[in-house]
Structure 1
Amino acid sequence: MFGLASPKKLRELGIVGMNKRNVHYIAQNNPRHLYPLVDDKLKTKELCRQHDIATPQLLGVCKVQSNVNELGDFLADIEQFVIKPAKGSGGKGILVIVGRDGEDFVKPSGAKVTLTDIKRHVSNTLSGLYSLGGKPDVALIEALVIFTDDFEGFSFEGVPDIRVIIYKGYPVMAMTRLSTHASDGKANLHQGAVGVGIDIATGKALNAVMHARPIEQHPDTGKVLKELHVPLWHELLTLSVRGFDTTGLGYMGADIVLDKNQGPLLLELNARPGLAIQVANGKGLEPRLACAEEQALLHPNRSVEERVKYAVDVIAGL
């Protein structure tokens, strides 16, 4: 979509590049001492609990290698769950289990893993195989999100999520990431998930991309992606901004999932959200970021509801 455009044309389109994102938006707005609040998913969980922000249920935490030997008893009566590294990034180290087949555990693809496989996975997680910088980590065990029927056919073998970019307290751009067979049931663009730009005003789909190339239909289901309309959109935007307000950061991404019974749940927060969201939306971030910055200076005390309303009424049209 933007791949063949010249640097001058990209600037005219308001495209934010990696250098500007890192230097202007991240470095100047995200104090490094606050990064652990979002880089460590266990700390994010605790932060959300303190502020009464809904998240997927935490079933347990493996903190030391001796906990690995307890997994058999702990998981004995749990049929569906997700194991993830607290300090992982890019979807690495996430293991999704959707059911049981005798003694085996079943992944979204139908592939089976044994208890020994799960123990090895958790042990690798603790040793830092999936963490930022390879540092020792802990493994979170969460309840599996049962996603809303509104995504039927739009996501394959996994739970889709919605990424909202928030700047100075204003939601400025959004997309949904839809899992595919190639992404192994994970909503991660680098692993082959589909990114669909979402209209901030309405929650309706705009453009869709896979591996940064435009597509019109889901590669596994054939579903027309522009037909997607994310439900509970106002509640979702509100939840993302509330999550932003807990961190002290100025520029971040909030990842939301829509549970069939519980509604929007905050999955995680990201201090370095990627820029592929611009491709999925077919728009540059720059005009929206500039507007949010101006509004934050002019109206520093706006409530969450007021900021969400301004984003829907004004920023969405930029």
Structure 2
Amino acid sequence: MKAVVVSKAGSPEVLELIQRDIPKIKPDWTLVKVMGFGINHSEIFTRQGLSPSVTFPRILEIELVGLVEESSDRQRFPVGQKVVSIMGDLGRAFDGGYAEYALVPNRSLYTIETDLNWADLAAVPETYYTAFGAMKNLKIEAKDRILVRAGSSGVGQAFAKLVRSQFPDMNLVASVRNLAKEEQLLTAGFSKTILEKDGRLQTQETFTKIFELVGPATIKDSLAHLEEDGIISSTGQLGGKWYLEDFDPIEMLGDNVYLTTFASGNVNQVKLQDMFDYINIYDVPVSPEKIYTIDQIQTAHAYLESKESFGKIVVLNHQEV
């Protein structure tokens, strides 16, 4: 099979496409024919050597979609069953989905019912599940005015599509560091954009809900734009800061506001299928912005790191895609 191996930290050029034996089945694991996968910023961080728990060589990828090839639990995972793997140390503690086949622990594999094609399905798991979980925790109502910080990110746009599909008249605003992407964001479903400079929103506007994807680097500024009884979900760390420092909860949350989050590791069969049912019921447009093949993995990583990056990008495997 084709597999992409990282033997040392570095630029996209360290993503080496090689031929490797298909993994052998073992107790409590399932062999998946990987039909596709999305590329995530966390894999870029790992490739750059910024994930201390990850040792090289390693096949990256924290998510995948595919078909059961062989399983130690044939009753739960019959051959040909459509499956999704998300989180569970995939691509970190053991080899992930940057390959044509992957060996996945049964505990991290989920059967799903969906009619999405492989390209659309590959765009969904990590990105849309994160956005969907945050959307539920924000307890969104039709009257809300919502800000999405880092609206041009894949998760930000997934959130916009999920919300807009249920609430077509929602006032949904994206913050960006570059207004050159404004037209793309409006097309993606946002009502308007707000410029962000040096971690501060260039507006006095306030919101009832804020989806915070920049993270600890801008949470304090986001709280300054949150109305009383409002909710902020800090669900990303795109600002490169992992911890919230000098934070006095009584002072910062004293206006009767609420700070929550959503971790994509908070996943089970019911919750995951709930998301796919929502996508089906509200006809959510989940198609990726760009589609690559596994041979183009270096180009895909370079694009996601570039200023031109926009939305979700996926890689598809096998001829039948």
Length-normalised TM-score, structure 1 = 0.25
Length-normalised TM-score, structure 2 = 0.25
